[in-house]
Each structure stands twice: as C-alpha cells, then as structure tokens.
C-alpha cells in the first residue's frame, strides 16, 4: 500500500492508483510525514538535546505558511499547484546538490 511507504510514493500512488486528487494526495503525504516525525521525536529527544530556540519559531512560521498556502491553493488550479511543487523540488534539489 503506497500510503505506508513514504511521502513521495503517497502522492504518486494516491493520484495514480486511487484516482485521488492532488489536494487529497498532498494531505495524505503530509499526514504520513507528520505521523513518522511524531513517532520518531520521543526517541530522538531521549538521546539528544533539542534546540527549542530554533524549533519553536520554525514551527510557528511553518504553521502560518501552511495556513496561507491553504488559502492560496483554493484559488489555483491543480495543474498550477503541481507545477509549483515541481519547481520547488528542482530548486531545493539544486541547492542541496550545490551546497552538499
């Protein structure tokens, strides 16, 4: 089942095999990422000190960005959203490769 494998496969698998729309596939993908991160956090925190001065502002900014993004996404066609995600992934991948 693609939902249990990983975020990229959730979107691809859900949109292709389940005839799920992009918004639902993205929500399922984000849910699986949040579930995995939430499950890993207690174990990670038990072995490492967490930088809360970074984590809290980052979480607040990410939450605000998610709210803004959800309002913007309602006004854009799914095709345009897919293109925006693709461009973002190419840019981020390029940054990781060049700085890695």
Asked if 55 and 96 sit in the same domain, the reply is yes
Task: For residues 57-81, give the mean pLDDT.
Answer: 88
| Beta carbons within 8 Å of 73's beta carbon, 6+ residues apart | 23, 81
Rounded Cα gap, residues 62 and 15, in angstroms: 25
Asked if 44 and 81 sit in the same domain, the reply is no
Asked if 59 and 20 sit in the same domain, the reply is no
Query: Domain total for the chain?
Result: 2
Asked if 29 and 74 sit in the same domain, the reply is no
Rg (CA), the chain: 16
Domain range for 27 is 1-49
Asked if 60 and 89 sit in the same domain, the reply is yes
Task: For residues 37-52, give the mean pLDDT.
Answer: 87
- Domain final residue pick, 49, 64, 88: 49
pLDDT above 90 covers a percentage of the chain that reads 20
pLDDT tens for 3-19 read 444 445 544 555 555 66
pLDDT given at position 1: 40
Q: Which tokens in the block code for residue 84? A: 């925006």
């Amino acid at each position: 089942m693609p939902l249990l494998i990983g975020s990229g496969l959730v979107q691809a698998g859900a949109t292709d095999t389940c005839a799920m729309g992009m918004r639902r596939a993205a929500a399922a993908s984000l849910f699986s990422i949040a579930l995995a991160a939430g499950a890993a956090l207690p174990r990670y925190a038990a072995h490492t000190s967490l930088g809360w001065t970074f984590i809290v502002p980052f979480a607040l900014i990410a939450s605000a960005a998610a709210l803004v993004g959800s309002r913007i996404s309602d006004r854009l066609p799914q095709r345009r959203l897919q293109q925006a995600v693709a461009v973002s992934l190419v840019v981020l991948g390029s940054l990781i490769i060049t700085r890695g």
